[in-house]
Structure 1
Amino acid sequence: SRKPILIDGRGHLLGRLASVVAKQILSGRSVVVVRCEDLQLSGHFFRNKIKFLAYLRKRCNVNPARGPFHFRAPSRMLWKAIRGMVPHKTKRGQNALRHLKVYEGIPPPFDRQKRLVVPIALRQLCLRPDRKYCSVDRVAHEVGWKYRDVVNNLEAKRKIKARLSYLHKKKLKKITWKARVAVADSIKPQNEVLKQYGYLTSEFEKKYARPATSATSSKPGKRERQDLYLAAKAERKASRLEAKKLGKVVKRKSKAKAKAKPTGKSA
């Protein structure tokens, strides 16, 4: 019933990420891992390739179709690592694996959702700087994965599309800012009424905005926006305290009237 956890696999160590994901799906959370081709392995490339080739030799002599099955896709490599950390032959383990989804790249609708990282599984935080490492997509490509170029092309298109979307959003934000500052004087009476009840209004933008040096720098920078935010926060807090004090005064007056009013009938 809860929203699934969306993890960006780029820069994570495969085994450490698998251990964290296995714990989450066993506790009932739904997990989605994207960009599995950018997962990383400790040890240089040749060492990991030799290990995988030795793993490929382990099969059933009578009928290899019986298993074990050797997945070449990076997403399935991660899935099998997680399966090994879950009691997958029990109902509990099978239900846990149903809560897991793994993908190469970032397919829709996940390309428009916020992605998270797992700090205890990041390669830059786990390995020493002088240690060797390699990417999973290179190993997978060397042992038979056929879709490395396809995934790279789709990811390049997605990044271009995301960049254009971000620039459009940034442009709209700038226009909205200018419009709010332009109408601040005309809605001043309404803002004064709203301020009495502790609502945050756009009046603070006009009040605390610094004069622009040129037409291109009409929108304040990061430091200016932070100052505006802190000033608005302080103003909102002061108005709420004032409203709270006013409410206490009204309560005291009502209590005083109730005490002054005679409760019983005169003889």
Structure 2
Amino acid sequence: MIFTPTTPLIWWSEFLDTDVLSSIPGTSRFFCEAVDLELGQLILFCEPLSVSLKNMVGISDKAILIDGRGHLLGRLAAIVAKTILQGSRVVVVRCEQLNISGNFFRAKLKYLSFLRKRCNVNPARGPFHYRAPSKILWRTIRGMLPHKIERGKAALRRLKVCEGIPPPYNKRKRWVVPGALRVMCLKPGRKYCHLGRLSHEVGWKYQQVVRTLENKRKAREYITIRKNENEKVTYEAGKQVEKVVAPFTQVIQSFGYR
């Protein structure tokens, strides 16, 4: 298998063995000098050759679920675009909490300039100006794809974006992309803004609705976590008490009580 920088995959550093990585042809030039275990996660770009589709590394029927909170819009879009072009399905949730580098006023001026670009003869022909954060991310990714040919159209069909975390994604583990996180990419103190606020000020009408639904979801998750913690404590306490009361239990059972 030859590794070249194409398809993003997330590997956990505790499972990463640099000796094994060095033994794979073509990896030393790309990765071995760049391994940094302090990041906690690494993105390895690999393209398996001469392998059936179902056995290809990074190709799975199960979609990759990415939590968009705290990611930079353009960097995340670039990685997602490459991933779906290689055949993986991707779902991005919480698009309203994506970040854009630079202060808010600058981002708003750029978007208002974009709103003025239209067909003078018939504006219904486009370009179409999406206001929802999920559609802004979708359009950003589309601009990085050959979306007018079948390969790009098929890639776009493998992408799903949404605001908040709707079912069934609220029950699944969500991933992040370290190479697109704002805290990893921007120098501390640099200005940034939220995509949700930008969308709200240019015409998106569902900011408060999404915020309300997200608060309800977080409350339900908090209750579930506390319930699981209490059940675990009760189970552990029951196992400890069971050894102490075992002699008394035998006496009670000898009298016919079960």
- What TM-score does the superposition give when structure 1 sets the normalisation length? 0.68
Residue in 1 that maps onto 2:159: 100
Match of 1:51 among 105, 110, 114: 110
Match of 1:2 among 61, 64, 67: 61
2-side partners of 1:156 and 1:185: how far apart?
44
Match of 1:71 among 110, 125, 130: 130
The letter for the 1-side match of 2:69 is: R
2-side partners of 1:93 and 1:185: how far apart?
66
- How far does residue 186 in structure 1 lie from its aligned partner after superposition? 10
- How far does residue 23 in structure 1 lie from its aligned partner after superposition? 0.8
Alignment of 1:129 onto 2:188: yes
Alignment of 1:109 onto 2:109: no
SS in 2 for 1:163: helix
2-side partners of 1:175 and 1:88: how far apart?
55
Alignment of 1:12 onto 2:71: yes
Alignment of 1:166 onto 2:228: no
- How far does residue 90 in structure 1 lie from its aligned partner after superposition? 1.0
SS in 2 for 1:33: strand
- How far does residue 178 in structure 1 lie from its aligned partner after superposition? 2.2
2-side partners of 1:91 and 1:126: how far apart?
33
Gapped regions of structure 1 (runs ≥ 5): 188-267
Larger radius of gyration: 1
Gapped regions of structure 2 (runs ≥ 5): 1-59, 247-258
More helix by share: 1
Residue in 1 that maps onto 2:45: none
2-side partners of 1:144 and 1:94: how far apart?
28
- Percent identity reads 59
The letter for the 1-side match of 2:179 is: I
1:216-254 deviations in Å (ceiling 9; x for gaps) = xxxxxxxxxxxxxxxxxxxxxxxxxxxxxxxxxxxxxxx
Where has structure 1 moved over 2 Å in runs of 4 or more? 178-187
Q: Matched residue pairs, number? A: 187
- What TM-score does the superposition give when structure 2 sets the normalisation length? 0.70
More strand by share: 2
Which shifted more, 44-53 or 173-182? 173-182
The letter for the 2-side match of 1:109 is: P
- How far does residue 185 in structure 1 lie from its aligned partner after superposition? 8.6
